[in-house]
Structure 1
Amino acid sequence: MADEKIDQCMKPHGEEGIETIKNMNENHKHISEFAFSCVEVGKDDNILDIGCGGGANIEKFLGITSGNVDGLDYSEVSVSESVKRNQSAVDSGRCEVIQADVSDMPLEDESYDLVTGFETIYFWPDLGETFKEVSRIIKPDGQFMIAQGTDGTHPDDEKWLATVEGMSVYTAPELEKYLLDAGFRNVDCFKKADDYILVVIAKK
């Protein structure tokens, strides 16, 4: 059962996947709230949320920008739930949610002002190359925001790493190096006071 729960976190699927997404939307609220307080969003920015889960952050961004807010996830269930949650924006053409792998996204170069990843990079393959792929779809002077519940020093990190195959946890300096090596020109890191929540914002 534990392995199944872990698998659901990595790639929600089936009926249990829907419940997992609902739980993640609720459990990640405090991470999302801190991240939104760290990033500046332009009034007409086009935004992509990678690993969009149940679409909660897509919904938030739609209330901030008049631009398009899209989502990408490699879980069919996540895509479906994100579309349901943001159906009116999908119907009006302001939102598209696609099923794809972050390491090879079927998106045009320099499409977005802001790309985000909430609680998702733990499972991204070959982080250096994947960050280059993210950079490719960001406009010049655009931003890439990473938000995660651990800064790499959380007491539970070792337990998760020992349990979840293919999972990695990164510190702020490690992420900064990966991002700069991928071609981003500037990286800012924000740590929530008295917590382990880390937000990293890279400028292209």
Structure 2
Amino acid sequence: MRLIKKYFGNTRKPDGVLGKLMVSGMNKAHAAVSDWGMEHLSSIHPTEIVELGCGGGRNAAQLLSRFPKAKLTALDYSEVSVEKTMRINWGNIQNGRCRVLQGDVSALPFAESSFDLATAFETVYFWPGPTESFREVWRVLRPGGIFLIVNESDGTNKDDEKWLGIIDGLHIFNKAQLSAFLKDAGFPKMTVDHDKSKHRLCIIAVK
């Protein structure tokens, strides 16, 4: 049990050898829900994207593929995640379409109105606040910009409660809670797709 807790503790901030295993696992385990979330972006054409909590870098690569005219900034506060994301996206880093930074979502190192699209896949469970962190996302988005949140846990599945005792700092929010945090952060409108059968959430908040 101790080893299991230590391994899954890397969900929050991957570190060391176990962290490297974790981010590789994230790329596979979260692929289906991430792709489902990206389907909700079919009608937009962003030019500047920020991928917050970039994990293993797979979603950054998918976003760059989906939006070939866009540039993307990937950010994570885990050094292991930054290194993995750089390896996965090295070609796009070389051609100037991607940059990868280590940083904190509660104090984003970007100017106001820098991005058209901000994404957060399977990560807001750990964000400080999270209203304060969402307010930072609002700040760096341009007017009309979109904040996409995709969660595989919707806060209604009792089977997910076991993770609360294994992963330190984990908070599983339901759609009402997330909507309230976003509204308090300044987002005036949002749409929610709640797949109750799979207990997953996709929220699009517009600045």
Partner of 1:82: 85
Identify which range, 152-161 or 72-81, moves more after superposition.
152-161
Asked if 1:133 is matched to 2:133, the reply is no
Q: Which residue of 2 aligns with 1:122?
A: 125
Query: CA separation of 1:40/1:183 partners in 2, compared to 1, >3 Å: closer, same or farther?
Result: farther
* Pair 41,5 (structure 1): closer, same or farther in 2 beyond 3 Å: farther
Cα deviation for residue 29 of structure 1 reads 1.0
**How many residue pairs get matched?**
204
> Match of 1:64, as an amino acid?
R
Q: CA deviation at 1:16?
A: 2.2
1:188 matched to 2:178? The reply is no
Match of 2:94 in 1: 91
3-state SS, counterpart of residue 48 of structure 1: strand
Aligned partner (choices 23, 29, 32) of residue 30 of structure 1: 32
Change (3 A) 1:41 1:51: farther
> Which stretches in structure 2 are left out of the alignment for 5+ residues?
none
SS of the counterpart of 1:22? helix
Contact 1:12/1:18 (8 A) holds in 2: yes
| Cα distance, 1:185–1:64 mapped onto 2, change above 3 Å | same
Write the distance in 1 (CA, Å) between the matches of 2:41 and 2:171. 24
Match of 1:52 in 2: 54
Match of 1:69 in 2: 72
The CA distance in 2 between the partners of 1:40 and 1:136, in whole Å, is: 24
Letter in 1 for 2:30: H
2:152 partner letter: G
User: What is the alpha-carbon root mean square deviation over aligned residues?
Assistant: 1.3
Identity score, percent: 36
Is residue 34–residue 192 contact of structure 1 (8 Å, CA) maintained in 2?
A: no
Deviation of 1:42 (Å)? 3.4
**TM-score normalized by the length of structure 2:** 0.94
Q: Residue type matched to 2:51 in 1?
A: D
Separation of aligned partners in 2, 1:33 and 1:74: 23
- Structure 2: how far apart are the matches of 1:92 and 1:121? 30
Which sections of structure 1, spanning at least 5 residues, go unmatched? none
Could you say which residue in structure 1 is the equivalent of 2:146?
A: 143
What SS does the aligned partner of 1:23 have?
helix
Report the TM-score when normalising by structure 1: 0.95
Q: Which amino acid aligns with 1:144?
A: F
Paired letter, 1:132: R
Partners of 1:61 and 1:14 in 2: CA distance: 27
Q: Is the 8 A contact 2:23 2:55 kept in 1?
A: yes
Task: State whether residues 9 and 168 of structure 2, in contact with CA within 8 Å, keep that contact through their aligned partners in structure 1.
Answer: no
Contact 2:19-2:80 within 8 A present in 1 as well: yes
Paired position in structure 2 for 1:9: 11
